[in-house]
């Protein structure tokens, strides 16, 4: 009898923890992925047992339509009975599950033109108006797979590409070509090649200010819980300086107008990452921070020329930056990636993830500098910054 009571108790508990929503698309029969896992073709039900206010990524694709990227957040329907039962009836788990999804989530997919063209952009006398071929780069195929996993590693990967549709009043905003592809591929290498647990890597595509701030706080909190933690932070997207030339990362719902209020200041980001006390903090920035004045918006090739302030690095921190000073961070159209990210992934693939950080730094500086001149007639020089505490040994670090 006791076993039956315990069994019923567990079933009721799990039922109370779960929340289910039905994902509908127009048109239907679209492929739906949650947290990078295929859950079925729409309409399809999705059930989560994550705690209230937790987030999951959703990706929807259908041939002939633009891919949709977004966030499912368990904060839409308040369940007061669960909260009260947790507080007054000592049904403690219910305290963490008092918010649910809406019953339905509807998504209208946007038609995609059969031919994709880059809008003509003039920057530093470089004009581009060539069709982009849609396909996989060599670094996105046959990614090395290693079975070993390190439970002490955590990562946040952000690819901010679509600014224009989030800020329709800003006609001069330019999207960051291939940033979503950069982020998606980098996550694949973290999980498949570099030994990261899949649920230890958070991937955000076209992230808003709120989503970025929340994800950063969660990353730091996780690292603080683990005395042996290692952190990787990756960002592809726009960077921009304020009037004092302090560099910021730009969420997709932020422009140069509300930069200080809602942008991600690099100085504060580095301080927060260092506060985690992680044994290794490695940052990759495929963005430049040489943007123009407030009336210019976010211009071509991921930035225009103003020399941003140099940052001070603290903690056990190593930062790989895609460009130097007033330089731009360029796209590599043939490979469907940012030029910096493409060669980063190439080095990881060629070495099965075993390259040291010193070797990666030397390789990026040589190959990106050379290819940017050959392809664009523009110099792009990656550089590596380190904190004083690791100045003598960072070159021997490995991501794997």
* pLDDT surpassing 80 at residue 231: yes
pLDDT exceeds cutoff 60 at 377: yes
Whether the pLDDT of residue 41 is over 80: the answer is: yes
Residues 219, 154: Cα–Cα separation, whole Å: 7
Lowest mean pLDDT among 44-48, 70-74, 340-344, 388-392: 70-74
Of 87 and 294, which is predicted with more confidence? 87
pLDDT, position 398: 96
The Cα–Cα gap between 286 and 234 comes to 8
Whether the upstream peptide bond of residue 67 has omega within 30° of 0, thus cis, is no
**H helices present in the chain, as ranges:** 2-17, 80-88, 179-192, 209-224, 259-262, 266-275, 339-350, 357-376
Beta 317-321 vs 280-286: how paired, if at all?
Answer: parallel
d(CA 167, CA 255): 8
Nearest C-alpha neighbor of 19 from the set 42, 40, 44, 50: 50
**Per-residue pLDDT at 304 exceeds 80:** no
Joined together, the tokens standing for residue 194 give 């570099």
Q: What is the pLDDT of residue 310?
A: 62
The pLDDT tens digits of the residues spanning 108-133 come to: 888 765 433 333 332 333 333 333 33
Question: Residue 120: what are its φ and ψ, rounded to 5°?
Answer: -60, 130
Look at residue 124 in the predicted model and tell me its pLDDT.
Answer: 32
Q: Between 8 and 400, whose confidence is greater?
A: 400
Query: What is the set of domains in the chain, with CATH numbers?
Result: 2-108 (no CATH), 121-396 (3.40.50.1460)
Band of the pLDDT at 97, cuts 50, 70, 90?
low
Assigned token pair, 380: 């792009």
**Span 15-30, average pLDDT:** 83
User: Could you tell me the pLDDT band of residue 2, with boundaries at 50, 70 and 90?
Assistant: low
The whole-number pLDDT of residue 351 equals 97
The mean pLDDT value for 336-354 works out to 97
* Cα–Cα distance measured from residue 267 to residue 361, given in angstroms and rounded to the nearest whole number: 22
Cis upstream peptide for 43 (omega within 30°) = yes
Task: Reply yes or no on whether the pLDDT at 6 is more than 80.
Answer: no
Overall average pLDDT of the 227-251 stretch: 91
Give the phi and the psi of residue 140 in degrees, each rounded to 5: -95, 0
Which comes out higher in pLDDT, residue 190 or 58?
Answer: 190
CA distances to 129, 143, 193, 281, 400 from 352, rounded to whole Å, are 36, 9, 7, 21, 9
Q: How far apart are CA 386 and CA 199, in angstroms?
A: 28
Q: 25 has which bridge partners?
A: 107
Question: What is the structure's pLDDT at 246?
Answer: 87
Q: What kind and span of H or E run contains 307?
A: none
Burial (CB count within 10 angstroms: exposed 0-12, middle 13-18, buried 19+), residue 247: buried
* pLDDT computed for residue 116 by the predictor: 38
- The mean pLDDT of 281-286, rounded to a whole number, is 97
Q: Quick one: pLDDT at residue 285?
A: 96
Cα distances from 226 to residues 190, 271, 300, 377, 390, in angstroms, run: 19, 18, 41, 46, 20
Question: Beta strand 230-236 with 280-286: parallel, antiparallel or unpaired?
Answer: parallel
Query: How far apart, in whole angstroms, are the C-alpha atoms of residue 171 and residue 174?
Result: 8
Q: What pLDDT shows up at residue 125?
A: 30
Over residues 214-242, the mean pLDDT reads 94
Please say if the pLDDT value at position 279 is more than 80.
Answer: yes
pLDDT number for residue 370: 96
C-alpha 25/C-alpha 125 separation (Å) is: 43
Q: What is the per-residue pLDDT across 316-334, written as a single tens digit (0 to 9) for each?
A: 999 999 998 778 889 999 9
In this prediction, residues 384-392 reach a mean pLDDT of 91
Whole-number Cα distances in Å, 12 to 48, 85, 114: 15, 13, 50
Ramachandran bin of 285, using left for φ above 0, alpha for ψ from -120 to 50, beta for the remaining angles: beta
| Residue 56 CB-half CA count within 13 A | 22
Question: Tens of pLDDT along 140-194?
Answer: 999 999 989 999 999 999 999 988 887 765 544 468 889 999 999 999 999 999 9
- pLDDT at position 255 is 79
Over the chain, what is the mean pLDDT?
81
381 or 86: whose pLDDT is higher? Answer: 381
Looking at residue 93, what is its pLDDT?
Answer: 57
Separation between Cα atoms, residue 356 and residue 396, nearest integer Å: 6
**pLDDT score at 106:** 87
pTM given for the model: 0.67
pLDDT of residue 291: 53
């Amino acid at each position: 009898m006791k076993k039956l009571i315990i069994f019923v108790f567990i079933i009721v508990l799990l039922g109370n923890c779960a929340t289910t929503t039905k994902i509908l698309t127009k048109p239907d029969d679209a492929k739906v992925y949650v947290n990078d896992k295929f859950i079925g073709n729409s309409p399809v039900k999705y059930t989560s047992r994550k705690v209230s206010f937790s987030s999951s990524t959703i990706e929807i694709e259908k041939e002939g339509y633009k891919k949709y990227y977004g966030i499912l957040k368990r904060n839409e329907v308040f369940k007061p009975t669960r909260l009260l039962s947790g507080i007054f009836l000592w049904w403690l788990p219910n305290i963490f599950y008092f918010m649910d999804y809406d019953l339905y989530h509807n998504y209208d997919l946007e038609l995609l033109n059969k031919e994709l063209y880059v809008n003509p952009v003039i920057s530093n006398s470089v004009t581009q108006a060539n069709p982009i071929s849609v396909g996989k780069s060599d670094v996105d195929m046959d990614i090395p797979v290693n079975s070993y996993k390190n439970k002490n590693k955590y990562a946040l990967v952000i690819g901010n590409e679509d600014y224009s549709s989030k800020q329709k009043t800003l006609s001069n905003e330019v999207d960051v070509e291939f940033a979503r592809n950069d982020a998606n591929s980098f996550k694949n290498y973290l999980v498949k090649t570099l030994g990261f647990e899949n649920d230890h890597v958070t991937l955000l595509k076209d992230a808003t200010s709120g989503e970025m701030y929340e994800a950063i706080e969660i990353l730091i909190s996780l690292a603080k819980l683990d005395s042996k933690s290692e952190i990787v932070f990756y960002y592809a997207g726009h960077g921009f300086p304020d009037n004092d030339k302090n560099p910021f990362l730009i969420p997709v719902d932020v422009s140069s107008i509300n930069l200080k209020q809602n942008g991600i200041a690099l100085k504060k980001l580095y301080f927060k990452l260092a506060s985690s006390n992680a044994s290794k903090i490695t940052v990759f920035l495929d963005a430049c921070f040489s943007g123009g004045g407030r009336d210019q918006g976010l211009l071509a090739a991921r930035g225009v020329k103003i020399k941003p302030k140099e940052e001070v690095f603290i903690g056990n921190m190593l930062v790989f930056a895609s460009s130097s000073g007033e330089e731009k961070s360029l796209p590599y159209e043939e490979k469907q990636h940012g030029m910096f990210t493409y060669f980063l992934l190439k080095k990881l693939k060629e070495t099965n993830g075993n390259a040291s950080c010193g070797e990666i730094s030397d390789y990026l500086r040589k190959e990106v500098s050379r290819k940017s001149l050959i392809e664009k007639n523009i110099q792009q020089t990656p550089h590596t910054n380190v904190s004083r505490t690791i100045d003598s040994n960072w070159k021997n670090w490995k991501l794997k």
